[in-house]
Amino acid sequence: MKPSFLFAAFALAIGAACSAQAQNWPVYGGDTGNTRFSEAAQINTSNVRNLKVAWALQLGTLRSQESTPILVGDTLYVTSSFGPKNVFALNAKTGEVRWRYSPDVPKGIDQYACCDVNNRGPAYHDGKLLVGRLDGHVVALDARTGKELWETKVVDYKQGSVITSPPTVAKNVVITGFGGGEYGARGALIGLDAATGKELWRTHTVPAPGEEGSETWKGDSGKYGGAVAWHIGSYDPKLNLVYYGTSNPAPWSAVVRGNDSSEIGPYSNLYSSSVLALNPETGRIQWHYQFTPHDAWDYDGVNELVFADLPFGGRTVPVLMQANRNGFFYVLDRANGKLLSARPFVDGVNWASGIDMKTGRPIEAANNAKRPGMQRKASDVCPNLIGAKNWMPMSWDRRTGLVYIPTINLCMDMEGVQQDYKRGQMYLGVNFDLAKQGAGGYMGGVKAWDPVKQQAVWFNKDDLFYSGGMLSTAGGLAFHGDIKGWFKALDTKTGRELWKFNTGSGISAAPMTYTLDGKQYVAVVSGRTLSIPAFFGPLGEKMVDASPEGGALFVFSLN
Amino acid sequence: MSIRRFARRVLCTLAAAVALGAQAAPLRICADPDNLPFSKADGPEKGLYVELARLVGQKLGESPEFVWWLTYNQRRALRNTILQDGCDAYFALPANADYRVRGLVKTRPFLDVSYAIVAPPGLAVGGLADLRGKRVGVLHGSPPHILLAARGGYATTSFREQEEALAALAKGELDAAILWGPSVGYENLRKQASRWQLTPVSGNGLDGQLAVAVRKGHEELAARIDKALLELRPQTEELARKYGFPRGQGLPLAARRVAPAADARASKLAAGLSVPSHWAARTNAPAASAPAEGVLPGRTLFNNVCSHCHGTDGASPVSERDLRRLQRRYKDEWKETALTTIKNGRQDAGMPSWRATYSDAQIDEVIGFLATLQK
């Protein structure tokens, strides 16, 4: 197909680029600490108004595009939704397709997939492009040709489990989680040998009976406890630790797994709604911290864990930060998991008044007033189960000292008594009303947050929520998209909008930037979400109506 | 609309107009292709829904065409099939008035289903108390699992699959199990020579009824299917027996939850009668829930909706939002001001406009409630 001299040029390009680059974008989060920050300053506050489309690519699917492309050498790699249906390798300067990989995704997989059919992008390691798939497989492709090198089944999609996030590569181990806790899976993180795809270790996020931590589950409820790690991991090569957040416990009905009240006792349901620090070679859990013990609100702890070096107690501490679904912004020492600070990063958080710094536990509202339970309705609980921030990632800008967070301002009524019926049984579903705007007349927006002082610096309120992930640059800019399809550049100091472009479909994916031959590009994938609005009744319709379906990659530059 | 679909519509219209003797138009039925005893696409036995749908089709003079979608996730299945006009009727949904799906209307219930106690013959179970001290198997996360956990003092083992639970029962690792009646009944009858004694149960989440759903706007079809199902009651029972569904009065293991009285609209929808569209639109708005607290009309709606900015019973510490001060602030015009503000909102102050969400009558009730609060 391709003459061999092109291969050689390819390899040379990759090699040359790697050695010449100060920092580009080789991984989902910009770096393995997920800071989503670039030193590139060619595009900056004084010239961003001249930003225009350099090239665009149609991804070949519509709906729920969540991919962040990565750059290796001068090749940009991006995935589409539905499988992914397509993985593209592109000339990052021109957009020309170098190769395309379209896996044979089982027909009808949409019926099994617990949630949406999204894919957040590929990972790269040592000449291999790594992709997690909806059918529960991880595949390694030759980065030059797109040929399959190995394929490993990680989890059975027929159980409703899917992979939607890129794996995390640490040393020579490819680490992935999976999603779909609803069907009673016990969550796990799996380490594969990068060269062969062979499974090296499998660490469950819920301890087996008899293991340490299993006593935090009532009866045998830990057997199928959920706590899946479906999102993005972070990796610290110095500490040799990989970090993942876990989702809520299963089943939703807390009375099965514990006391169904804020008197949690021993039944905190480890390690659901937690952050885990694991050794990448053995998969052993080194430390954990639980954000929401004995969760009853669906407050997944999966949001990305962002690295920073922050001043605490007179010294500079390597930390990880998380803007949790539950409304609190956590800062932990990433060497040992010690809680350094935790404060609400959105207004109106009422399920807990704060986090006790001594115990690390939330101080829940009295008398279970905001804790839904068996025949106990909780009204106007803020934030709602979508969270004060959902999966769309924040960025950390060490120059301004600020984190830029896409926030959500919704509350909910929650009670569990709706009868539902699906194959194999009737079950009690959660009855909830999510269409409750939080106080203040806005539904979300990008907030600049000082993680040391734990306070907001500026806040762009939005009338609709679910805006996209963030990118910040040394050019003084923060880039993000919104549900109406606008891709915007903001001044990181003030939040003022300096430039925008409508991509034609809602954006939730996070942008990235790269520089080649002295020219800086900014790239974002557009294509609106579907699964979340489906819950939301009339509000969901507003979200869906905000833009048509789509699926395209847009790359911008100054000239 | 595709040519094919348009042509089918035309055929359906013709068929309806000409009635008997005309070309029978296909009635598209949505069902799960792998859900015996309810439905199966391939194999010798097609399931209760498939056989019943064929009988319904016969009565309607239309031949059923099946559209298959696995129901791992009920709502998703609905979105991908009937709500996209992928089929005309969905077999089947909980008839329960609480179970509402935007865009669908349901027939009256046509089948009772429930969980069932599965035990060796001779085990006398007259109530939940008889299971104390017994090793009981349940399906993970199922209502029996939740019930026994909530009551406390039961030795339960949970299983992901019915097969695992039955195997444990056969091995003597369990004394009884509470499993999904239709599935275990079918298995018991077909594959286990009726080895186990099955006792249907009743109580919140343990039993329910099923109804057929059609898209809103097709109430006439719903009524015709409803009528056919009514006439087919004896055949439905016969099919239930054929497929091993446990029959009979359910043994009450728990109280039944009383549906909120305020749901007259919902039960009308469930009955398949046409409902004025502005009613239907409101069922998804933050609604007044069961009037458990307070007898004052308007108070429940206020405390469900308005209180998170204005405080419970209007007592906000923020003076601008303190609704007990309305009369002092606006004097004789306070009710009018309240009405205008509730309807139009106050953008700059963060007060939403409620005119599109609540009726005049509902807003009047809230104002009536506010009147009782004035200082």
- Which residues form the domain of A430? 4-557
Q: Does A5 touch chain B (CB under 8 A)?
A: no
* DSSP strands (E only) in chain B: 26-31, 34-35, 39-40, 63-68, 89-94, 104-106, 111-119, 135-139, 155-159, 176-180, 197-202, 207-215, 251-252
Looking at residue A125, its amino acid is: H
CATH number of the domain encompassing residue B358: 1.10.760.10
- For an interface test with B, the pick among A347, A409, A422 (most B C-beta atoms closer than 10 Å) comes out as A422
Chain B contacts of A182, Cβ < 8 Å? 73
With contact defined as beta carbons under 8 Å apart, do B240 and B116 qualify? no
C-alpha to C-alpha distance for B265 and A33, rounded to whole angstroms: 53
> What pLDDT digit, counting tens, does each position of B26-83 carry?
899 999 999 999 999 999 999 999 999 999 999 999 989 999 998 877 888 898 899 9
> In this complex, do A114 and B73 lie within 8 Å of one another by their Cβ atoms?
yes
C-alpha to C-alpha distance for A193 and A173, rounded to whole angstroms: 5
> What pLDDT digit, counting tens, does each position of B139-169 carry?
988 999 999 998 888 999 999 899 999 999 9
Chain B contacts of A534, Cβ < 8 Å? 75-76, 79
Q: Between A111, A114, A218, which is nearest B149 by CB?
A: A218
Q: What is the mean pLDDT of residues B128-135?
A: 93
Alpha helices, H only, A33-75? none
What is the pLDDT at residue A423? 67
- Which residues form the domain of B321? 299-371
| Phi, psi for residue B357 in degrees, rounded to 5 | -100, -35
> In this complex, do A379 and B304 lie within 8 Å of one another by their Cβ atoms?
yes
Chain A contacts of B347, Cβ < 8 Å? 441
- For an interface test with A, the pick among B36, B69, B73 (most A C-beta atoms closer than 10 Å) comes out as B73
Q: What is the mean pLDDT of residues B265-273?
A: 33
Together in a domain, B18 and B101:
yes
Together in a domain, B233 and B107:
yes
- Residue that terminates a domain, selected from B255, B282, B309: B282
- Residue that terminates a domain, selected from B183, B202, B221: B202
What is the pLDDT at residue A269? 97
C-alpha to C-alpha distance for B276 and B283, rounded to whole angstroms: 12
What is the pLDDT at residue A417? 61
Together in a domain, B96 and B214:
yes
pTM of the model: 0.81
Averaged confidence pLDDT in chain B: 82
pLDDT(B272) > 60: no
Residue A182: pLDDT band (50, 70, 90) is low
Higher local confidence (pLDDT), A340 or A439: A340
ipTM above 0.90, yes or no: no
Higher local confidence (pLDDT), A401 or A436: A401
- For an interface test with A, the pick among B93, B146, B277 (most A C-beta atoms closer than 10 Å) comes out as B146
What is the pLDDT at residue A299? 95
CATH number of the domain encompassing residue A370: 2.140.10.10
- Residue that terminates a domain, selected from B223, B254, B282: B282
Q: Between B77, B139, B286, which is nearest A425 by CB?
A: B139
What three-state secondary structure class fits A93? Answer: coil
Q: Between A110, A224, A440, which is nearest B140 by CB?
A: A224
What three-state secondary structure class fits A35? Answer: coil
Q: Does A183 touch chain B (CB under 8 A)?
A: yes
> In this complex, do B180 and A426 lie within 8 Å of one another by their Cβ atoms?
yes
Q: Between A111, A348, A413, which is nearest B69 by CB?
A: A111
Q: Is residue B290 part of a domain?
A: no
Catalytic residue positions of A? 182, 248, 298
Provide the number of structural domains found in chain B. 3
Percentage of chain A lying above the pLDDT 70 cut: 90
pLDDT(B264) > 70: no
What is the pLDDT at residue A418? 61
SS3 per-residue string spanning B13-61: HHHHHHCCCCCCCEEEEEECCEECCCEECCCCCCCHHHHHHHHHHHHHC
> What pLDDT digit, counting tens, does each position of A146-176 carry?
999 999 999 988 877 899 999 999 999 999 9
Together in a domain, B35 and B184:
no
What is the pLDDT at residue B96? 84
Together in a domain, B145 and B37:
no
Q: Does A251 touch chain B (CB under 8 A)?
A: yes
**Which letter does DSSP use for residue A270 in this model?**
T
With contact defined as beta carbons under 8 Å apart, do A462 and A546 qualify? no
Q: Does A540 touch chain B (CB under 8 A)?
A: no
Together in a domain, B78 and B118:
no
What is the pLDDT at residue B19? 46
Lowest mean pLDDT among A524-538, B160-174, B304-318: B304-318
Q: Between A160, A218, A442, which is nearest B72 by CB?
A: A160
Nearest chain A Cα distance for residue B22, angstroms? 36
Chain B contacts of A249, Cβ < 8 Å? none
Q: What is the dihedral of CA A349, A351, A357, A361, to 10 degrees?
A: -150
Residue A251: pLDDT band (50, 70, 90) is confident
Q: Is B122 exposed, middle or buried (0-12, 13-18, 19+ CB in 10 A)?
A: exposed
Read off the tokens for A276.
Answer: 């885990």
What is the pLDDT at residue A434? 73
Q: Is residue B293 part of a domain?
A: no
Q: Which helix (H) or strand (E) holds B278?
A: helix B277-282
CATH number of the domain encompassing residue B12: 3.40.190.10
Averaged confidence pLDDT in chain A: 91
Residue A107: pLDDT band (50, 70, 90) is confident
Together in a domain, B180 and B213:
no
Residue A462: pLDDT band (50, 70, 90) is very high
